[in-house]
Copies of this chain bind each other. A is one copy, B any other.
Amino acid sequence: MLRLAELFNSIADDLEEGARIFRDELRSEQPFIRDLCEHIERFHGKQLRPALVLLTGQACGGARPEHRVLAAVVEMVHLATLVHDDVLDEADIRRRSATVSRQWGNESAVLLGDFLFSHAFRLCSSLDDQFASQLIGRTAVTLCSGEMMQVSNCDNHDLTEAEYFEIIKGKTAALIGTCCLLGARYADADERAVRRMNEFGVGLGTAFQIIDDLLDLIGDEREVGKSLGRDVDKGKLTLPLIHYLRTCTSPRRKEMLALLRGDNARRDGQIAALLADSDSLEYARQTAHKHVRNSLDILAELPPTEARTSLTAMAEFIVARRQ
């Protein structure tokens, strides 16, 4: 199986430098803060967002010092939302490590998330121009709005596909779009290219979240490395279930709704079985593919470079991944 890290050869040094800026920014005199920050180093995981800033920068003319700073910024924003998500979701496992909230309590997790957010904004405002600060501020607002829309639709079994897409655009795709926009803009790409790279990222992020939601329903906990079935537990309807409830027969719909409203221990398996017996999983996968194809079309507008090849492989990886 292809590993994402293999696509990052052309940006290996920049990624390393971004990680150094990340660590330097979070350095603290306080042993407690040092412990927490050491712990979250383990969450870094795929480094998808920093890689996108750097690769789109390279693909649009070349990565500069600003790209490395912004790589650290977007990773901080992302980790802040992960840490706060863990408070929300009472998740037990995150990347095979204990979550911050489980190990140090909700108090520490809320503060650590705020600490990461604050550092992201501070670091961003250290750049010469306001552009990144303004965009990161706006993107953070969009992120929160998406999450809040999700919370307010908890247990709403009539959630429409349009509403689902609005939620995932806010909570996931907006930040990924911003990564690509920043990459292009700080490489001095022209206005149209900057807008297109944002669209590339939004498509990629949308596909990424659809697959993430699919894995939460039918993935293997050991492979994925985090608690699964959380969306159903928290009353969050995702694309396969939205499609299923809209297209299945009336008795099946009743059966599925009863499972979603109930709380029996074998529920996850029963929901997965109903889905496997329908074309809803395939529908979700095809929808993700459609978004990725659109993103690949945008990439084709760029001159051929190693960075563009990596972005292409990354987009293909995202719909093929099992974790």
Tell me the A residues contacting B by CB distance below 8 Å.
28, 30-33, 36, 80-81, 84, 87-88, 105-108, 110-115, 117-119, 121-126, 130, 133-134, 136-138, 140-141, 143-145, 147-149, 151-152
Contact: A32 with B106, CB < 8 Å?
Answer: no
Contact: B88 with A148, CB < 8 Å?
Answer: no
Contact: A125 with B130, CB < 8 Å?
Answer: yes
Give the docked Cα–Cα distance between A145 and B27 (Å). Answer: 11
Contact: B141 with A107, CB < 8 Å?
Answer: no
Q: Which chain B residue lies CB-closest to A30?
A: B149
5 pairs from A and B in contact (CB 8 Å cutoff): A33-B145, A87-B106, A114-B114, A118-B141, A125-B125
Give the docked Cα–Cα distance between A90 and B124 (Å). Answer: 33
Contacts of A134 in B (CB 8 A): 122, 125-126
Given contacts A125-B134, A133-B133, A148 and B118 within 8 Å (CB-CB):
no
- Chain B min CB distance to A40 (Å): 13
Contacts of A112 in B (CB 8 A): 148
Contact: B137 with A121, CB < 8 Å?
Answer: yes
State the main secondary structure of chain A at its contact with B.
helix
Give the docked Cα–Cα distance between A117 and B80 (Å). Answer: 12
Contact: B115 with A32, CB < 8 Å?
Answer: no
Contact: B152 with A32, CB < 8 Å?
Answer: yes
- Chain B min CB distance to A136 (Å): 8
Contacts of A126 in B (CB 8 A): 134
Contact: B125 with A141, CB < 8 Å?
Answer: no
Contacts of A141 in B (CB 8 A): 115, 118-119, 122
Give the docked Cα–Cα distance between A137 and B138 (Å). Answer: 15
Give the docked Cα–Cα distance between A144 and B36 (Å). Answer: 13
- Chain B min CB distance to A262 (Å): 21
- Chain B min CB distance to A72 (Å): 14
Contact: A125 with B115, CB < 8 Å?
Answer: no
Given contacts A110-B110, A134-B126, A140 and B121 within 8 Å (CB-CB):
yes
Contact among B87, B114, B123 for A117, CB-based, below 8 A: B114
Query: Apart from A30-B152, A121-B136, A125-B130, what are 8 other A-B pairs with CB-CB below 8 Å?
Result: A84-B110, A84-B111, A87-B110, A108-B148, A114-B114, A115-B141, A115-B148, A125-B133
Contact among B84, B105, B114, B138 for A144, CB-based, below 8 A: B114
- Chain B min CB distance to A237 (Å): 16
Q: Which chain B residue lies CB-closest to A125?
A: B133
Contacts of A106 in B (CB 8 A): 87-88, 106
